[in-house]
Structure 1
């Protein structure tokens, strides 16, 4: 039986004047998977995420998240949890106030809001600081608050942009474990990060974007096989191999390694 798809795009493209930020992007991400979305700075990752969350209108192409068209933000909002690199939180509030406010915006039941807040504050070791103003928080604590906010309503699809930024090793491990638990519960995680060992540990599939185009895709093991990488090779080795100008130009003359191709 074919798996249900949580995220799909077909020829998704975004242009800014003469610049093409994302070109003809095709994605088919099943429910319950962790998709590691990689690429160097300026590759088009954030633009893609903004299209998937209906914050940016595509120039052309189509896409769906949790069965909803990405051009309909009101339809998508109930189904997604989104953590951008800079979480949308108010410094003058406490973390508890911020999360209560967010739960209200999500039309959550007040009792459910309180239960979820306590559960997630405890999971991310933020309980003792929950009634301090966010303005006093470190970057890592703000990141934790933003992540809790993204998870509160138990969304079908969780989109994370650099979720471990600013976190200490213990908190980063909690994030990794949470991502794995979400996928085990049939939720889908779209994970964009520069920390490739995190992706290698948790991702079931990886897509690598370069200059706005998807140049490699597959599980970490499949990518190693297709790139003829040795057993000791890492995802970082593959990433560096396919995100060079020489590899990108090879798209005009594909070879057996898959470099320069969407594999």
Structure 2
């Protein structure tokens, strides 16, 4: 469903992605790496928010230049900046996005009600987005990505800033979507969650794929593989922070 071929991207002549070849089939693929490894940039290319400098990107065999509408109808995106309509309330954000994906007003309202209930946002549904907490904003953006039941999900840090109850709900929803044939590519720094839900793990380092494996087929923990690649932290003890 996701096909990235020799994709490269630079900013101000600084390479961020260096010839990424990545094919992602239905399941949950976790994209890991240190800050600056290129994870969010890769998601932006795959979601059509930016174009690669070299190489190409296809979603379900289609390219963004020729088929932008068809791709976006089957694509759900949780971007790094969340992409909320800041002056609208939570429920207004969901009601505004539904018709863009071809949902009727009644379909949008019914699905929005379900998602707000799952994410414990019902009481705050009339809160303007810019006045919401980070967790509420993140859950609203995720609900917007799920609303049209997309075939492909690109999620940038879906568990960051989320309370444990909502994290459990998100894990359940992603597992259900995966079982139903959805293709999910997500970034996360929470390795314990990745260990539980990912059917595949890809680790980026300096804009290149350094490791690509299926957690159930290896004896090592995801955390162990990750630190073997990016390096185990050995912080210097700061005397002035001690007693």
Q: Could you state the TM-score of these two structures normalised by the residue count of structure 1?
A: 0.83
Q: Does 1:50 align with 2:37?
A: no
Is the CA contact 1:10–1:62 (under 8 Å) kept in the aligned structure 2? yes
Is the CA contact 1:85–1:163 (under 8 Å) kept in the aligned structure 2? no
Is the CA contact 2:199–2:216 (under 8 Å) kept in the aligned structure 1? no
Distance 2:227 2:156 in 1: 20
| Counterpart for residue 21 of structure 2 | 26
Distance 1:66 1:196 in 2: 28
Alignment of 1:1-263 (within 5 A): 6-31=1-26, 33-72=27-66, 73-222=68-217, 224-225=218-219, 229=220, 234-244=221-231
- What is the Cα-based RMSD across aligned positions, in Å? 1.7
Distance 1:123 1:186 in 2: 21
Deviation by residue 1:16-52 (Cα, 9 ceiling, x = unmatched): 3432211111112112x10000110111111111110
Please report how far the alpha carbon of residue 71 of structure 1 lies from its aligned counterpart in structure 2 after TM superposition.
Answer: 4.0
Q: Which runs of 5+ in 1 are unaligned?
A: 1-5, 246-263
Is the CA contact 1:157–1:189 (under 8 Å) kept in the aligned structure 2? yes
Q: Which runs of 5+ in 2 are unaligned?
A: 233-243
Please report how far the alpha carbon of residue 159 of structure 1 lies from its aligned counterpart in structure 2 after TM superposition.
Answer: 0.7
| Counterpart for residue 239 of structure 2 | none
| SS of 2:96 mapped into structure 1 | helix
Distance 1:205 1:13 in 2: 22
Please report how far the alpha carbon of residue 86 of structure 1 lies from its aligned counterpart in structure 2 after TM superposition.
Answer: 2.6
Higher RCO (CA 8 Å, separation ≥ 6 residues): 2
| SS of 1:238 mapped into structure 2 | helix
Report runs of 4+ in structure 1 exceeding 4 Å deviation.
none
Distance 2:191 2:64 in 1: 28
